[in-house]
Structure 1
Amino acid sequence: MTSSDHKRSGLPDPVVAALLALGACVFFSLLSASVKQLSGELHGFVIAFWRNLFGFVFMIPWLWRHGFGSLRTGRFGTYLFRSGLSVISMMCGFTALAYMPIANATSLSFAAPLFATILAALILKEQVRLRRWTATLLGFAGVLIVLQPGTTDIGFGEILVICSAFLTATVSVIVKTLSRSESSQAIVTYMVLLSTPLALGPALFYWTWPSLESWPYVVALGFFGTLGHLCWTRAFAMADASAIVPYDYSRLIFVTGIGMFWFGEQPDHWFWVGSAVIVAAGLYIAQREAFLRRSRGSDALAIQATVESAQPGIAADLNSTPASRISRNPE
């Protein structure tokens, strides 16, 4: 949807941005469902490779249009490290879906902002006050409610999701440091270019070719990811990051429905209680982060949220997103 399209529709920008954000969450949920569907046939490492490869294919038009001039950098090592962590995080998350319900995996993945708060304090030396620490602790209490340690065994899938969330938080800290000196185009493009070859090596150890019936789901990995990120970045272009980030939690509703009707999964009441606590804590941290960023005259939350969501395979025009207008000094 272009700007002229929504102006003709008579809808204000915040409403269109909300619809785009919700659309993105639907596409991301369908991406997770495609991974879950393929997990019965392919190893998570192999699925991650196909996700990156088809993401790269959908990224080609953007690369063709913008070229590689923005890729000159003196921080290639940081880009390589960041891409490696992103690939490991994706492999952990995709593999986990073979062992646990899709809704539970999504709920636990929302622990990433909680880990990010801790890492920001330890690594970036950000000042985290009592209210954010309290929200972080409550969020981890929600994680424990979902996991129910002591009453049920914490399985391999749950461990993988927690590891994936921690790595996602680590990547967000690296993105913050990169955004001080690097363009948003370079941050995203390097991830796309590096992630596919990095994902291939581990995938070869578990390699099997998809069956003929599975190829539509393999292609869907790139298709739904691209549509989701296109909607997500355009939503950020039309509204404040603090207004868009909370919509990400609607994925929990969509994946729960998909899990129930597609995979026959039935979440228990502890899932809903724990998820509510995690979401509430995450929303508070996001709003508090946005307030602090505004008070410092910076939109760094926008680039962090936009680029964090930018898994390999985005054919979005980043020049239309807030990431292209970010201050080079987010602190």
Structure 2
Amino acid sequence: MAERQPPLGAGRNAGLEVPPAQRANPLWAAAWMMGALTSFALMAIAAREISKELDTFQLMFYRSIIGIVIVVAIGALLPGGMAQFKTGRFRMHAVRNAAHFVGQFCWFLSISLISLAEVFAIEFTTPIWVAMVAPIFLAEKMNRYRAMAIAGGFLGVLIVLRPGVTEFGAGHIAMLIGSFAFSLSMITTKKLSATESPLCILFWMAVLQAPMGLIGSVSDFTLPGLESGLWLVIVGICGLTAHYCIAQAFRWADATLVAPMDFVRLPLIAVVGMLLYGEALDPFVFLGGAVILTGNWISIRFARQS
């Protein structure tokens, strides 16, 4: 269950509040970020392998079922039990998960169509979209730093995609749509987090997205084989561990320090793609990703100073 949370600069933070670190220890922050980066890489590999047998709707359905089992098991062990999943904001959960389902669907679909490095580089634009829509939905002010982040983000996208020079296909379009959908998911997550616990948000994500995946799967429903089943479990587990590690990293260092660490995800997944799938290392992907990261980092630094 690859839940997308608000925190990372090359990942997820432009236009959102940046919680201060409880204590400063960059080494611990880096260690937790390596756990997050490893989880994201494993999730991408698992999605690529699953796509050989199951379509994206089926992947999303099984991922949600596994997510329900994991979240309910965790909830049962915590004080309050199932009562912590009660909500009075079902409509907001529904809006959030419609957006998140689109984003996650596009992410999984893109992994099966384009290189892993391209997927991750384009995904870095999510906080750029957040910076654009936050003034509309959260009444946050647009300032020159956010404008610089937005401009840098789109310049980075142009460097990565190079329209008219390289092939611009369905996978690239899907990931751009997915990044925008993730931004809407983050905005609604911010609204929900005022009253709902993270575990409650995760529970309703899995419960609401399971039928969405099932509806898209009914025409060609397939039971996963043993190998795909194991990869599905990895997707479910890594979606939780990735964001748990991110949350822990922010306990040990400020966002301005943690955000650049997320950029390591791009060369890491590029090497994984090269070793496992023979994908070429494209210097323009790295350059564009660096430009996007710089824009996000400027926005985060301004948020911390404010």
1:113 equivalenced with 2:107 (yes/no): no
- Return the offset for 1:242: 4.2
- Matching residue of 1:46: 58
Find the counterpart in structure 2 of residue 158 from structure 1: 172
Higher relative contact order (CA 8 A, sep 6+): 2
Alignment pair present for 1:21 and 2:33 = yes
CA RMSD, 1 decimal: 2.1
Deviations 1:219-241 (A, max 9, x none): 22123223323322333344444
Asked if 1:267 corresponds to 2:281, the answer is: yes
**Where do 5+ consecutive residues of structure 2 fail to align?**
1-23
2:49 to 37, 52, 67: 37
Q: Which residue of 2 aligns with 1:305?
A: none
Deviations 1:286-312 (A, max 9, x none): 3323333xxxxxxxxxxxxxxxxxxxx
SS at match of 1:68: helix
Output the TM-score relative to the length of structure 1.
Answer: 0.78
Q: Which amino acid aligns with 1:25?
A: L
**Matching residue of 2:100:** 86
Residue 239 of structure 2 corresponds to: 225
Match of 2:204 in 1: 190
Please give the alpha-carbon distance, in whole angstroms, between the structure 2 residues aligned to 1:178 and 1:214.
Answer: 33
In 2, distance between residues paired with 1:241 and 1:196?
33
Give matches, 1:166-315, under 5 Å.
Answer: 166-292=180-306
Paired letter, 1:32: A
Displacement of 1:269: 2.4
Provide the C-alpha distance between the structure 1 equivalents of 2:235 and 2:202, rounded to a whole number of angstroms: 18
Amino acid in structure 2 at the alignment position of 1:262: L
Rounded to whole Å, the distance in 1 between the matches of 2:246 and 2:290 is 23
CA distance in 1: counterparts of 2:197 and 2:61, whole angstroms: 26
Please give the per-residue CA displacement for 1:155-205, whole angstroms capped at 9, x wherever unaligned: 000010001100000111112222333344433332233233332222334
Deviation per CA, 1:63-107, whole angstroms, max 9, x where unpaired?
A: 102323233433110111111221121111101111100110110
Q: In the alignment, is residue 61 of structure 1 matched against residue 73 of structure 2? A: yes
User: When the two structures are superposed, what TM-score results if normalisation uses the length of structure 2?
Assistant: 0.84
Q: Is the 8 A contact 1:51 1:218 kept in 2?
A: yes
Cα distance change of structure 1 residues 226 and 158 upon mapping to structure 2, 3 Å threshold? same
After superposition, give the CA deviation of every residue in 1:26-66 in whole Å (9 maximum; x if it has no partner): 11111111101222222122122222222222223311023
The farther-off stretch of 35-44 and 204-213 is 204-213
Which residue identity is paired with 1:17? A
Deviations 1:113-144 (A, max 9, x none): 00000001222221121122022111101101
Change (3 A) 1:231 1:124: closer
Shift in Å at residue 20 of structure 1? 0.9
Counterpart of 1:102 in structure 2 is 116
Taking every aligned residue pair, what percent have the same amino acid on both sides? 30
Asked whether the 8 Å contact 1:141–1:277 carries over to 2, the reply is yes
Report if the CA contact (8 A) 1:45-1:95 is conserved: no
Whole-Å separation in 2 of the counterparts to 1:240 and 1:192: 30
CA contact under 8 A between 1:45 and 1:206: conserved in structure 2?
no
Which sections of structure 1, spanning at least 5 residues, go unmatched? 1-11, 293-331
The AA in structure 2 aligned to 1:52 is S
Query: Using a 3 Å threshold, how does the CA distance of structure 1 residues 14 and 69 change in structure 2: closer, same or farther?
Result: farther
Alpha carbons of 1:86 and 1:13: their partners in 2 closer, same or farther (altered >3 Å)?
same
Q: Deviations over 1:5-34 (max 9, x none)?
A: xxxxxxx84422320111111111111111
Moved more, 47-56 or 141-150: 47-56
Which residue does the alignment assign to 1:147?
A: 161
State how far apart, in whole Å, the 1-side matches of 2:104 and 2:219 are: 17
Distance 1:271 1:37 in 2: 23
Q: Does 1:130 align with 2:132?
A: no
